[in-house]
Every structure is written in structure tokens, then in C-alpha cells.
Structure 1
Amino acid sequence: MARITMLFVGIILAVFASSQSVSFNCQYVTGGWGTLTNIYYCHAANSLNVTSLDEVKVNSISGMHSAGYDSDNVEYLNVYNKGKMSFFPIGLNKFFKNLKGICIGKMGLQEIHQSDLKDFPELVDLRLYDNQLEIIENDLFIFNPKLDSIFLNSNKISQIDPNVFDNLPKLSSLYLDSNACISFNAVNSESQVQMIIKKVKLQCTNANNSNLTQKVKNLEIESKTLNSTKLNENLQNLENDIKGSKFSNSFQNNLQDLKATVRTISTDEHFIDLKTKITTLKKDADFIKNAISESDQKLSKLIKDTTTTLKDIDAKNDQNFGAIMKFIEKLDKKMEAMHGYLVEIDSVQVKLMNKIDKIESGNDHN
């Protein structure tokens, strides 16, 4: 009897409510939404017409609750294709205090703000798909750190703040397909979510650049044609430049001559020859260091550019990425080995100079 009375009061309030308010007539159902299973939710059954900010305040919520349930048990609100709702309703939390999910789909929603969502700290699932959203602002989800699934697909979004998805450690599904600046989805995959976030930062953070989206698409097309054979060829050429450079033979010859000279020192006339060879060897070593440094810069830039490009390619076009990265790591190790070899050369030079000093000191003493 009490439930029937509450229903009757709700209907009366809905009939006499001000035109500047929102009234929901709920069909209460138990079911599942995404990762939320076996939850009690409100399915809005009445037609709405919210076209101005003066009309967004929730005035009443009516409907017959299931046995043993009341408004405090409602964890999800579903409003889909029930007229027009240009702006997010204000005051939902006063009626439904424990919402974990909200769906406003195909309602012509034009804006969504941080203030609209701040009263729902337990929000896990947010669905605002098939609307008229154009901008996703900074810190939109700052009060909703538990969000697991966000649906913003089928809107007109052309600008997304680059940090809007930060501080959402549980985000595993992100739907952004069929928008002006991006059209990708990630479903139950944190790695795919991170890939889409990178695309957002690249494609959706400059609303004033009308050519940005097309440039990114062109880049993706070029990236998809990139193959490991061509990349390996470029990297191999760089390695060959280092290994087969013009100073290599001269350096090796001078090193051998120096070793032979050290073994056959017997008179003063060898000191001049020895000093000359050491000076030449040092110049060769310095030349090698400079050349390797320049090659390191080229290699670092190539690795950076290649890694950035490849990581932005969809997983299905990324089959060669592992092999390419192994090749780069192998090349890095070779570079480190070359640097180690130069350190050994420096050590040999120091020892030789010490020996020369001792020999010269002995001659001066004589």
C-alpha cells in the first residue's frame, strides 16, 4: 500500500512539475552493464524535452520499485532515445545516491562538464554515446577515479584535452569511434587504451588546425607500409658506416706499428718515432670517438623516430615490431662494445706514455 501511495505521489508531482525541470518515470530492472553485473537500475521510460540550462534540474523520479528495493539500491541510470536532453541533468544524486553507472545515449547531449560528474565518486561505467558532444574538457573525470568503461563514440568530438584520461588506473574500455578527430575503440584492454590515449594526444588536442586529422591519417597510411626489411636496411647501413669508416684501417695499422715499436726500443732515435705514432694514434682515437658520437646521435634519432612511429601503429599492423626492437637492442650493444674498446685504447696509451716517461728520465740521468 505504501509503495502504491509513493507511486501515486510521484505521478502527481510529474504532472504538476514546473516546465523548467526534469522528471523521470523509471522502469526498475535487475541486470548487467559492462563489468557491473546483477545490479538494480532505472530505465527511463518517459519522453524528455530538455533544451535549455533552465530545464536541467531533476524535480522528481517516479516508478514502481521491485519488492525489497528502494532508490538507495539503484546503481545505474539508463536514458536512451527518449526525446531530447541537450544538457546533463542536475540533482540526480539526491534521488539516486549510489550510482555506479550512467547512460545518456542518443539524446542530443551537447555538453559534459566536471561539475556534472563530481557527485558520483563511485562511477564505474559512463556511456554518453550517439550524442552531439564536441569538446572533452580538462579534468573532466577528476572526481571519478574508479571509471572502468567510458563510451564517447558516435559524437562530433573534435577536441579532447590531452590529460583528460590521466589518473584513471582502472580504465580498460574506451570507445571513441565515429568522432571528428578520432575513430578507435579499446575493449577490455589496458594496453589498447594507452594506445588510443596516445592517438588522442596526437590527433585531438589542437582544434584550430583543420589539417591535423588528415596529416595523422596520412602518417598512419605511411606507417602501415613500413616493413622490417627496409628498416633493417637503414639500420645496417648506419652500422656499416661505423664499422667500415675510412679511419678504421689507418687506426689498426698505427696500432700495430706502435706495438712493434714498443717491443724494439733500444736507442734515443726511437723515442721521436714513438711519440709521433702515439700522437697519430691519439688523433685516430679522437676521430673515432667523434664519429661514433655523431653516429650515436643519428642512431638515437632513428631509434626514437622509428619507435614512436611503430608504437602508434595498430597491433594488427605491428607484427614486425618485436624483431625490429631486438635488432635495435643488438646494435646498441655493439655500440657499447665499441665504446669499451676505445676505453681500453685510452688505457694502453696511458701505460705507454708512462713507459716513455720512465725511459726518458733514465736517459736524462745518464
Structure 2
Amino acid sequence: MPKIFFIACFILSQVLLSSSTNIECNFQGSELYPVIGYVYLCSIDTDPSITTQKSAVINTIDGLATPKRTYNFVHGFFASEKTIHFFPKGLNNFFRHIEFIKVERCGLKVIHQSDLEPFVNLLYFDLSYNSIEVIEEGLFSYNPKLKAVGLWESKIIHIDSKVFDSLNDLSCIWLDNVPCIGFNACEDDEKVRFGIGKVKKQCMNSKFLGFNRDVEELSNDAKILNSGAFNGKLQRFERKLNDSKLSGLFYLREKIDRLKI
């Protein structure tokens, strides 16, 4: 029992130590962006590595907003050429009125619905030039006001067929040089609708969907099977995944790692 308690305390201490992060903002007006115009934003000045761990939570922000423009005036978050493997949590604790998020060339590996949940007023969302491979079902469920989505020059192999259906105000979408598709459309409703139709036809990856269903089944099995039976089933699944062309897909690997905890 003492040994188990010591191990548990050690793991908890490591999580706590790795969960906080600090960012430094250069508060400034943005360039002119389609559908949103100019934005007063936090542009990241932090030295390259920001969030390389899933548990990273922003606990302090350095940088001076002007006396007349407090954090309440900050409507945007911008980062370029930093190291952001996972979208940082806690941003909304400082900036409660975010309408603009642009994280480009940062090595972002994955984006989840839970990452975007705090940003209910989000209008402009751009994660171009990153390593994202999957746009999951319901990604924008908490962001119904979105007008512009940019994902160009990404590694996307799967986009959920319904992910854009709830975005009635979407007027710009950029998906150029994406493995499953290539098109841009902005402020032309007919072209936007046509592009979304192409996404539905070309970006549903059946192999990914099959493996994703298997992972969901494993998640349910973890609750009912004994550890020996579950671990055996998990190992067989991993061998199957390793033999496939999706063996390096981070989105699935992340889910599998959670099952091993």
C-alpha cells in the first residue's frame, strides 16, 4: 500500500508540474482579415516551445495591454512558428471575448471539440500549415457563429461529413493543398456550398472510420472486461493498426494511449 501511494503521489506531482505554462503577448491590432476586419489581439512572443504536453494550461500571461485596452478588449489570439503541439487550455480565463484564433506553422497535431468549447463567439478560425490529420465529428458544435475556417497546407486525411453543417454563417473556407481535397472559397455562397459538397464526397476516410469505431468499442470494453482480456484485445488491435497505412495517425494513437492509463 505505501508503495502504491508513493507512485500515485509521484504521478500526480509530475502532472501538476507539467500542467502550467506561461505565454507572453504582444498586444496589437491585426491586419485586415476577411469577414472580421481588424482585431485587437494577443500575438504570442513567447520563446518557441509553448505547449508540447496535452495537459498544458495557461496560468499566467505576460505583456502589457494599454491602460485604455484591458484584457476585455482582446478579441484575438495569434501564434506563428512556435511549438504548439496541443491547443493550450485556459486561454478563455484571461480573454473572455475571443472571436479570432489563428495558429499557423506551429506543429499542432490535433484539435478537439473540447478545445474550442469555451469560444462560443468565435468568428474566424485558422489552423493552416500544421500537422492536423483529422477533423472530428462535432468539432464546431460550440462555435455556431463561425464565418471563416482555414485549414490549408495541413495533413488532413479525414474530415467529418457533417462538421460544417451547423455553420449557417460560414462564408469563407480555405482547404487548399490538403491531401483529401484542394479548394478555397470566400464570400461566395455558391462556391462555399460547392466546396462543402466536395468535402462530403472526398474527405470521408473509410479506413479511419473503421479504426475509430474499433477504438470506441475498446473504450466500452475497458469498462466491462477484466484486465487480461482487455489487454489482449488492445494488443491485437494495435498489431492490426501497425500493419495499416494509418499506423502513424496521431489522432488514433492519442485515443489508444488514453485507454492504457
User: Alignment RMSD, CA only?
Assistant: 1.7
Q: Spell out the pairing of 1:237-316 with structure 2 (5 A cutoff).
A: none
Q: 1:122 Cα shift?
A: 0.5
- Is structure 2 residue 171 aligned with structure 1 residue 172? yes
Q: 1:194 Cα shift?
A: 0.8
Cα distance between partner residues in 2 of 1:89 and 1:39:
20
CA deviation map 1:263-289 (0-9, x unaligned): xxxxxxxxxxxxxxxxxxxxxxxxxxx
> What's 1:64 paired with?
64
For the residue of structure 2 that corresponds to 1:208, the secondary structure is helix
> What's 1:153 paired with?
152
Contact 1:110 1:132 in 2 (8 A): yes
Cα distance between partner residues in 1 of 2:184 and 2:38:
25
Cα distance between partner residues in 1 of 2:175 and 2:206:
16
One-letter amino acid matched to 1:59? N
> What's 2:52 paired with?
51
> What is the percentage of aligned positions where both structures have the same residue?
35
> What's 1:140 paired with?
139
Q: Could you say if the C-alpha distance between residues 207 and 180 of structure 1 is closer, same or farther in structure 2, counting changes exceeding 3 Å? A: farther
Q: 1:189 Cα shift?
A: 1.4
Q: Which runs of 5+ in 2 are unaligned?
A: 1-15, 209-261
For the residue of structure 2 that corresponds to 1:111, the secondary structure is coil
Q: Spell out the pairing of 1:31-42 with structure 2 (5 A cutoff).
A: 31=30, 32-42=32-42
One-letter amino acid matched to 1:44? I
> What's 1:288 paired with?
none
Q: 1:132 Cα shift?
A: 0.3
Q: 1:107 Cα shift?
A: 0.5
Contact 2:146 2:167 in 1 (8 A): yes
> What's 1:204 paired with?
203
Q: 1:39 Cα shift?
A: 2.7
Q: 1:188 Cα shift?
A: 1.6
Cα distance between partner residues in 1 of 2:162 and 2:88:
25
For the residue of structure 2 that corresponds to 1:37, the secondary structure is coil
Q: Spell out the pairing of 1:221-240 with structure 2 (5 A cutoff).
A: none
> What's 1:105 paired with?
104
Q: Could you say if the C-alpha distance between residues 62 and 45 of structure 1 is closer, same or farther in structure 2, counting changes exceeding 3 Å? A: same
For the residue of structure 2 that corresponds to 1:156, the secondary structure is coil
Q: Which has the higher helix share?
A: 1
Cα distance between partner residues in 1 of 2:110 and 2:194:
26
Contact 1:147 1:170 in 2 (8 A): yes
Contact 1:40 1:75 in 2 (8 A): yes
Cα distance between partner residues in 1 of 2:205 and 2:63:
45
CA deviation map 1:216-235 (0-9, x unaligned): xxxxxxxxxxxxxxxxxxxx
Q: 1:19 Cα shift?
A: 4.8
One-letter amino acid matched to 1:203? Q
Q: 1:23 Cα shift?
A: 1.5
Q: 1:18 Cα shift?
A: 5.0
For the residue of structure 1 that corresponds to 2:39, the secondary structure is strand
CA deviation map 1:131-177 (0-9, x unaligned): 00100011110111110000011110011110000111110110111
Q: 1:191 Cα shift?
A: 1.2
> What's 1:195 paired with?
194
Normalized against structure 2, the TM-score is what?
0.70
What count of residue pairs does the alignment treat as equivalent? Answer: 191
Bigger RCO (CA 8 Å, 6+ sep): 2
Contact 1:107 1:131 in 2 (8 A): yes
Q: Which structure has the greater CA radius of gyration?
A: 1
For the residue of structure 1 that corresponds to 2:29, the secondary structure is strand
CA deviation map 1:277-303 (0-9, x unaligned): xxxxxxxxxxxxxxxxxxxxxxxxxxx
Q: Which runs of 5+ in 1 are unaligned?
A: 1-16, 210-366
CA deviation map 1:290-340 (0-9, x unaligned): xxxxxxxxxxxxxxxxxxxxxxxxxxxxxxxxxxxxxxxxxxxxxxxxxxx
> What's 1:76 paired with?
76
> What's 1:6 paired with?
none
Contact 2:18 2:53 in 1 (8 A): no
Q: 1:38 Cα shift?
A: 3.6
Cα distance between partner residues in 1 of 2:21 and 2:179:
30
Q: Spell out the pairing of 1:343-358 with structure 2 (5 A cutoff).
A: none
Q: 1:37 Cα shift?
A: 2.6
